[in-house]
Amino acid sequence: MKKKVFSSLIALFSINILLAQIVVFTPVKVEQGDVEQFLNVEMNYSKQIAQDAVNNGNLLGWALLQSTNPGPDDYNYMWVNAYPDINTAANNNMWWNNSEKVVGIKPDVLFSDSSKYKFDRSYTYQMKMTIPNTAPAGYVILNFATPDDVDAVAASSKKYVLPHFKKNMSDHGMVGWGMATKITPQGQDYSSIMFYDSYDSLANAMRHLAGEGVVKDLPLDKLEKVTWEMRPLMKVVAGTEAKQ
């Protein structure tokens, strides 16, 4: 993702992402006057179509995220799609084209307002480690970086961060955590790794960003140094459930 442009990753923050290997994020900018119609379509129709795709095994999960503090030119919403493997993600799996079958409305009619929105490219990540969600997430912090040694960061995170969070997260409202590496796009203008921190409330997520809560006692002197390029705080607006 571009370092100075809104972007992010998933964890299907409101469901168990343990089975998800590939996560695709697609940011979109919706002008204020179009938000009501956008949310009506996403929450009342897209969610149903995505749930059908999950139930039929064509998708592991779907979520809609909203930026809590976007600038005037930033992308303010994001779709997140989770897949079991690269083949499934790369198979042009446009599950939303089943809208007529699922909700009785043709795609070109249901999504006719999409021409009003500004779309970013999609960003694809591969999950490397997770702490599966212990409860539905209300907010998610997405932490992006481009360290010199991705493997070293992953190793120190697995050794120190993962067990520390597992032990202490329930005392601070953290409900899930994970790390992923970028598949595409790649290059000097794009972050190569992303960590996510899922929380039950806005207050607990903000405490995390303030260096309090579960991160306060991390052994920072033992961790591979990471300089965060962007740390957007996202609200979970809607999401699918596990396969029904």
pLDDT digit string, tens, across residues 195-230: 999 999 999 999 999 999 999 999 999 999 999 999
- The per-residue pLDDT for 205 is 98
Q: b/e per residue, 75-98, with b = 16+ CB within 10 A? A: bbbbbbbbbeeeebbeeebebbeb
pLDDT band at 16 (very low <50, low <70, confident <90, very high): very low
Q: What is the pTM of this model?
A: 0.88
pLDDT at 5 over 70: no
What DSSP designation does 8 have? Answer: -
- The per-residue pLDDT for 11 is 37
- The per-residue pLDDT for 71 is 92
In 3D, which of 122, 127, 109 has the Cα closest to residue 41?
109
- The per-residue pLDDT for 4 is 32
Burial of residue 25 (number of CB atoms within 10 Å: 0-12, 13-18, 19+): buried
First to last CA, the chain: 33
Positive or negative CA dihedral for 69, 75, 77, 82?
Answer: negative
Nearest-angstrom CA–CA distance, 14 and 134: 9
- The contacts of residue 162 (CB under 8 Å, 6+ apart) are 129, 131, 177
Distance of alpha carbon 212 from the chain centroid: 23
pLDDT band at 88 (very low <50, low <70, confident <90, very high): confident
User: Under CATH, which architecture does the 22-239 domain have?
Assistant: 2-Layer Sandwich (3.30)
In 3D, which of 54, 53, 52, 76 has the Cα closest to residue 65?
76
pLDDT band at 20 (very low <50, low <70, confident <90, very high): low
Whether 103 contacts 92, CB under 8 Å: no
- The per-residue pLDDT for 132 is 87
pLDDT band at 189 (very low <50, low <70, confident <90, very high): confident
Report the chain's mean pLDDT, rounded to a whole number.
89
Whether 28 contacts 78, CB under 8 Å: yes
Q: Considering all CA atoms of the chain, what is the largest pairwise distance in Å, rounded to the nearest integer?
A: 57
Per-domain boundaries in the chain: 22-239
- Cα torsion at 69, 75, 77, 82 (round to 10°)? -120
pLDDT at 232 over 50: yes
- The per-residue pLDDT for 100 is 97
